[in-house]
Amino acid sequence: MDTNSLKQKVTLEKHISALMSILAEVHGPDQLALKAGKLDSLELMQSEKLEDKVLALERLVHEDPTIVEQRPPEEVQEVLHELEEYLADMLARRTVEEQLEQKISAKMQERHLEYVKEIRMQVLKEETGPDNAQTLKKYAELELLEQRSLSQSTSDLMRPQRLEEVVGQDEAIKSLLTKLSSPFPQHILLYGPPGVGKTTVARLALQYAKEKSHTPFLEDAPFIEVDGTTLRWDPREVTNPLLGSVQDPIYQGAKRDLAEGSVPEPKLGLVTEAHGGVLFIDEIGELDPLLQNKLLKVLEDKRVLFESSYYDSDDPQIPKYIHQIFTKGAPADFVLIGATTRDPEDISPAFRSRCAEVFFNPLTPPDIVDIVKAAAKRLNTLLEDGVAELIADYTIEGRRATRLLADAYSVALYADEALEQSETIVTKIHVQEVIQSARLSSYVGAKASDNKEVGRILGLGVNSYLGSVLEIEAVAFPSKEPGKGLVRFNDTAGSMAKDSVFNAASVFRAVTGEDLNNFDLHVNVVGGGNIDGPSAGVAIFAAIISAVKGLPIPQDIAVTGEISIRGKIKAVGGMHPKIYGAKHAGVKTVFVPKDNWDDISQITEGVDVIPIEHVSEFLKHVFQSDIADLKYSLAT
């Protein structure tokens, strides 16, 4: 080896030794030896070959045992320069980190007392809280109040616990269940008078649906109930308990931890609380029209969207859940069940087009009797014969019937205490006392009887979902001058009813060949009830012909239908409640237009319904043998 090569080798060995010394200072001699063992470099470090020492140095610097390629002598100098640069960077970085650690330690030392003080105050606050002696006294008083409670209300006690206990609504229950307990449940509108079980059936229907494996409802599916008459909201979206709102941090008082960062706080509404279950809105027709439109949007999207001028999507201080609510909205996938006592025509067409419709029937007297007897069992009391029937005369609402029984039960308890009786029995005297103190009047204005009367017949009317019997009467006297008779009719009955009188007069002349102008005729609807429609036409005609001809009419029949001037009987509306009204009044036979037969053929149990299409058929049924006195000139 020549002199230059020898000098170059010595220089490289010194360079390698210097780099090894730097590594020893960085890691420490012992740690460096352990590291070399792990990297399989100990033998290479102790080797006499320059190439082995360079390979060991590469493995130690890069901490990579997979480096196996030995550098040729001409590349050794270049490799050493690269390792030297790498070590220089590492030492510089370590120096900076040590300086930062020193500064941090200094700052921590400066703030140490302040941190300790803050932590001490926080611990004290958590242990003691914001309470003082006065607030703790108030809390104790509140706890004492919580321990006191009265017995459950009669409404809770009397409410049916199973669908089988609901009286008089078999058809509506079946219809509701088929629409709700399905793989694809529908939004539903429930129509019917108050107190017939709409809310109870809706609640029990969800329980029924949750038991079916083919429905999407889980065991914990919620039933959220709200009353549309008391639901209030602010159009500025400051508050909206139904859909939800946003509490801005400055003006509306979001939580303190959010307000300090100017973060708006979303307040989720009932539609999100009902997610996966049923949202029941009683008296849905009373909702504000604008709120109804917003609810329709939620039904379509199955999600509620929120907006706020304070929301910044790039703000790192906003929690993830608030980011998600503002970007994606809050879930609101539920089934809407709305109940109303209004007519379908009074409900928003947009709601009706999105909902299936179920109609609850008015309760009949036998239904009320069953409800009262079942309620008596829950009260664990006995009823005197006729008590349930007496209550049925004063209400058609199941809720009111149970309340009347509960009031009569209280009267009976008061009397038993005075008489020291061992067993409480509710009598008709107790019920009558409640009726008098509440100043109630019988629901049934006119009742059917087995008698026959001249010039009097029972018609059928309807107000909302409640059918009723109308007492229509007529009297006729020969006029003082032939052809100059007068026809009088009470104005309160309505203009359409007055038109029915004129139509009946024309039919009377066609049927009998006589002119009503030869008679002074007075037609009256007893009680002054308004007849909003032509459905009393046949009844008015029958009362007139009975008064003029002196023909008695059975008082256990009722009739409804529009009469044309040719004697045809036309279809009318409200047939379902009219039939129930007839049953409630004890009517045995109801005459209805033939065109309405398909509407009511399934609800005729308990009353004989006869469809007719011409007045001649009606006259034959009503007057029977007396019909020979009439002169028919109309073609049937």
Which amino acids are annotated catalytic?
535, 578
Q: List, in order, residues 6 or more apart from 262 with CB less than 8 Å away.
A: 249, 250, 310
Helices (H) and strands (E) in the chain, counts: 23, 22
Strand 303-304 with 356-359, pairing = unpaired
| Alpha carbon distance 485, 478 (integer Å) | 8
H/E stretch holding 93: helix 73-128
- Angle 392-396-402 from CA coordinates, rounded to 5°: 70
Nearest to 474 by CA among 535, 524, 542: 524
* CA nearest to 177, candidates 167, 166, 188: 188
Q: How many CB atoms lie within 10 A of CB 438?
A: 12
- What the block records as the tokens of 320 is 């993830």
Residue 554 φ then ψ, to 5°: -60, 140
Q: Which two tokens stand for residue 471?
A: 């007492």
Calpha distance 552→182 (Å, rounded): 55
Which of 231-243 are b and which e, b meaning 16 or more Cβ less than 10 Å from the residue's Cβ?
Answer: bebeeeeeebebb
97 alpha-carbon distance from chain centroid? 63
The strands making up 589-593's β-sheet, listed across from edge to edge, are 487-489, 519-525, 466-478, 456-463, 557-559, 589-593, 608-612
The secondary structure of 552-581, three-state, reads EEECCEEECCEECCCCEEECCCCHHHHHHH
Could you give the CA distance from residue 218 to residue 201 in angstroms, rounded to a whole number? Answer: 19
Eight-class DSSP state of 596? G
C-alpha–C-alpha distance, residues 587 and 580, integer Å: 10
